[in-house]
Amino acid sequence: MVRSKRWLTATGAILLAAALGGGTGCLGTVYKNLTKERAGNVKLLFINNTQYRASFCYGSWDAWDRTPGEATLQTLRLEAFTAGTPATVPCRRNAAVGTQDFYDRAVALKLDENTNFDLDAFDTTVHFSAAAVDSDTAALPTEGSAAGLEKLLGVDYSCEDTLIFTFNEDPAEPGGFRIDFQVILDKPLGE
């Protein structure tokens, strides 16, 4: 009887550890995101493969910090068929281009009130515009939009990595555009 209980306890512990640390499901994702070290920065690179100007907000934040915590918010207008200069932001648990959660956190922290802030590029989506660069609609979605995209520390990237977000036209997507993601690892995710 004692041996049976020990076996069940050991089996349960192994299964729990596998679910949390090595699992690929929700618990594994949460565990990896919560336990990955946050030190240093990440670089974000944007590539616009479309024939339109892309206008968007991006940055890093910690979705688990409900105080509401710190966040880095930047806006960018990226002309057609160009790549931006890599932006360096603090390494946090979440890196986002748009997304409702990132937008809400930025508003809660009043980051949208900063000087030189591009309000037209601040949204939950990436805007694509064919309007003249100096027009009032230069950053508005005159041609369509792409849904925002969020990536997680410990799951999709590590600190010091380079995160690459590429904008592409895609008529199959609701707004006619999509964001693709790649990462250049500074070191393997498991380290």
H or E element at residue 58: strand 53-61
Residues 18 and 94 in one domain: no
Quote the tokens at residue 163.
């995160």
Domain total for the chain?
2
Residues 21 and 107 in one domain: no
Assigned domain for 189 exists = no
Q: How far apart are CA 96 and CA 33, in angstroms?
A: 15
Quote the tokens at residue 166.
């590429």
Residues 63 and 147 in one domain: yes
Residues 44 and 66 in one domain: yes
Residues 93 and 133 in one domain: yes
Residue by residue, pLDDT tens for the chain (191 residues) are 444 444 444 444 444 445 544 555 666 665 555 555 667 999 999 999 999 999 999 999 999 887 878 899 999 999 999 999 999 999 999 999 999 999 999 999 999 888 788 999 999 999 999 999 999 999 999 999 999 999 999 899 999 999 999 999 999 999 999 999 999 988 765 55
Give residue 47's domain range: 38-184
Residues 23 and 101 in one domain: no
Residues 29 and 43 in one domain: no
Residues 172 and 111 in one domain: yes
Q: How far apart are CA 75 and CA 120, in angstroms?
A: 9
Residues 31 and 45 in one domain: no
- Please choose, from the candidates 14, 17, 41, the residue with its C-alpha nearest in 3D space to the C-alpha of residue 153: 41
Q: How far apart are CA 140 and CA 128, in angstroms?
A: 7
Residues 83 and 154 in one domain: yes
Assigned domain for 15 exists = yes
CB 151 within 8 A of CB 163: yes
Q: Among all chains, which residue has been given the structure tokens 């956190």?
A: 105
Residues 92 and 15 in one domain: no
User: Does the reported pTM lie above 0.85?
Assistant: no
Q: How far apart are CA 8 and CA 65, in angstroms?
A: 36
Residues 59 and 17 in one domain: no
Assigned domain for 191 exists = no
